[in-house]
Structure 1
Amino acid sequence: MAFQAPPGYQPVYSPAIPYMGPIYGGLREGASIYLQGSVPDKITRFFVNLFCGQSECSDIAVHFNPRFDGWDKVVFNSRRNNTWDAEETIRSMPFDKGETFEIVITCSPHDYQFKVNGEVLYTFKYRLPLAKVCAIEIGGDVVIQSINVIGGGGIGPGCYPEGGRPGFEIGQGGFPGDCGGGFPGDCGGGFPGDCGGGFPGDCGGGFPGDCGGGGYPGYMGGNMGGGFPGSNLPSMAGQPIYNPPIPYSGAIPGGMFPKRTVVIRGMVPKKACRFGINFLVSRSRDTALHVNPRFKDDVVVRNSMIGGRWGQEEREMLGDNPFKEGEYFDMSVRCSGDRFKVFVNGRPLFDFRHRLQNAVNEIDTLEVAGDVQISYIHL
């Protein structure tokens, strides 16, 4: 069972490094690029380039280059007509050797805003038109878990005809070398809880009926951008919910109709105990789907609660448990006519048959609680 991304949501998982691939539809104001990954213990440097054309010789709108060289720094630059512009450098190093990271590059009206692990790092003013950016390149001492662009230009060829061009599609390697690429000014190119909070009985508070009481505190009923051409799924066109507080409760406008997909991207903190995701009917407070990763037991429990009573738990998975302490995850929950299909990091994790057969279209609320950090929720 392969994961088919709906329009407006086209992630890339675990690409080979060096990596170069198109940003379908290009970038525009309001778009964000999310990169999750890790750096090795023996890191020298890595880079992220946003390209303005189909060729490795094309202009680079922004060059992001953390360097661990005894004078740790992060370099920002651009390249025009095969010539590097003036560097902008900061001496603050936001990356830790051997640790995971999340980079968010947001396109504001006048500049790129860089955040690392939720903290603002730098703003780099546009030197080249944002609309020209149509590809991303990553190289150096880095492991990338996922790449995603949200709020891009929608379905369209961008700089590329349909299918891209040979040697430059998503997942293909290659980076500058024949055009004076690599790192400027270096060597002439190239580069050498514990469980506090959340669930009663085990972690203190949380989902009702899970460990004998509790409930959400304060809740009382209350791409690459553009997607795959030809997808027959509803478009991920709505504005994502960024960095929501946990516990979270929010409406699902229009409900969970067949083929609708909800994307939840986040990270499991170290020493996590468990967290939970609920899809509910607000009218009755019935839980159509309860997804509950439990790290002590290394399981992902699924259940429903109808009429105030929990049903039979399901624990079998289609593969290994993808939720790991200290790692990011990208979860997609798709509603079909007879079940939920759940994918994590692009791979199927489980199916859950509907137990509210006559009320699937009434599922209109999403809740998240427990030991988890959420980067965004996208409907």
Structure 2
Amino acid sequence: KNKNRQNSRMAIYEPVSDIFNTIPVMSIEGGLKEGKSVIIIGRILPDASRLHVNLQCGSDSKADIALHINPHYENDSAHVMYNTYKNGTWGSEQSTPDSPFVKDKLFAIEILVTKEAYKISANGKHVMDYEHRIPITQVNTISVDQNIELEFIESFYSKQLVPYKTLINGGLQPGNNILIYGVPNTDSKRVEFNLRHRYGIAFHYLSLFDENVVVCNTSENGKWGAEERSGGVPFLKGQLFQVKISCSREHYAVFVNGQQAHTYKHRFTKLDDIDVFEVYGQLQLIFVHV
């Protein structure tokens, strides 16, 4: 499906689900291996005082924990603790100040497995190299605190790089949603999404930071139509965003961080001919679900 990564993934869960209230642990298909990454995307509940994300050895409540990521919020002093639980005992803690995990806001954790350490990034920024204390071959489970409303968990091998292109199996259909998570670079000039078919672009969504404008358009046989421009780029440089492009029979609706930002009436109406999604611009692409 995606040429930029191997198809070695866990189950992907839709963001509206409450399933995580009853499934606090999830298995990692094939276990952890060098070069593999795990991405966890979610939102921290506003009344959370502390929470955790664990990479652990099995799903038992007493299982060893190879990596314990533990944001704290006591006394308005946000920080993150990292540790390992082995043979019934916690090891020495490591910490980072200025937690990137903000209550009631979307976050994305990426954990890259290397030979020596877990390279941990949050919201597109590297925060910690945590050296292995338990062999990665023993790690096969993710445990997530119930103070986190999860949107997605996925394990994969190669990063999603920009320019990015992926196929839409079977073509676009009414009711389909495309979800994009990313972080515009601090010097970003544009963020661009395209829904493409064989003869052109059915939906072109372009945010221009310098002009603070969003441009929507359609191109067929090399010719662009009339632009639809609206003021106010819905992204902030350096900050994580979630975009959902929802396709109905009449139009596309674009939601940014849960708020409807734009609608665009179909000009190209053969929706099932639309079979490619593209991302361009100056941004770090964290995750795409088509």
Match of 1:265 in 2: 180
Q: 1:102 aligns with which of 108, 122, 126?
A: 108
SS at match of 2:102: coil
**Conserved? CA contact 1:60–1:78, under 8 Å:** yes
1:352 is aligned to 2:271? yes
Q: How does 1:81-230 map to 2 (within 5 A)?
A: 81-151=87-157
Q: Deviation per CA, 1:223-275, whole angstroms, max 9, x where unpaired?
A: xxxxxxxxxxxxxxxx3434x3xxx4x677xxx596699x8732488xxx995
Q: In the alignment, residue 8 of structure 1 is paired with which amino acid?
A: S
2:28 to 23, 34, 58: 23
Instruction: Check whether the contact 1:265–1:377 (CA below 8 A) recurs between aligned residues.
Output: yes
RMSD: 4.2
Task: Indicate whether 1:68 and 2:69 are aligned.
Answer: no
CA offsets 1:306-350 (integer angstroms, 9 cap, x no match): 242559xxx9627x988532359xxxxxxxxxxxxxxxxxxxxx9
- TM-score normalized by the length of structure 1: 0.51
Distance in 2 (CA, whole Å) between partners of 1:80 and 1:322 is: 49
Task: Identify the match of residue 305 of structure 1 among 196, 220, 223.
Answer: 220
Match for residue 64 of structure 2 among 34, 59, 65 = 59
1:220-299, aligned counterparts within 5 Å? 239-242=158-161, 244=162, 248=163, 265-267=180-182, 275-279=192-196, 286-287=199-200, 289-290=202-203, 292=205
Q: Which of structures 1 and 2 has the bigger CA Rg?
A: 1
- AA in 2 matched with 1:308: K
- Asked if residue 37 in structure 1 is aligned to residue 53 in structure 2, the reply is no
More strand per residue: 2
Q: Which amino acid aligns with 1:352?
A: L
Residues 266-325 of structure 1: CA deviation (Å, up to 9, x unaligned): 2488xxx995314366xxxx415436499xxxxxx89552242559xxx9627x988532
Gaps of 5+ in 1: 1-5, 152-238, 295-300, 329-349
Identity among equivalent positions (%) equals 20
Q: In the superposition, relative to structure 1, how do residues 351 and 308 fare at CA in structure 2: closer, same or farther (>3 Å)?
A: closer
1:58 positional shift: 1.9
For 2:285, the equivalent position in structure 1 comes to: 374
Are the aligned partners of 1:268 and 1:327 in contact in 2 as well (CA < 8 Å)?
Answer: no
Q: CA deviation at 1:61?
A: 0.8
Which sections of structure 2, spanning at least 5 residues, go unmatched? 1-5, 173-177, 185-189, 208-215, 227-245, 260-268
Number of matched pairs = 234
* 1:193-219 C-alpha deviation (Å, 9 max, x unpaired): xxxxxxxxxxxxxxxxxxxxxxxxxxx
Alignment partners' CA distance in 2, 1:316 and 1:116 = 30
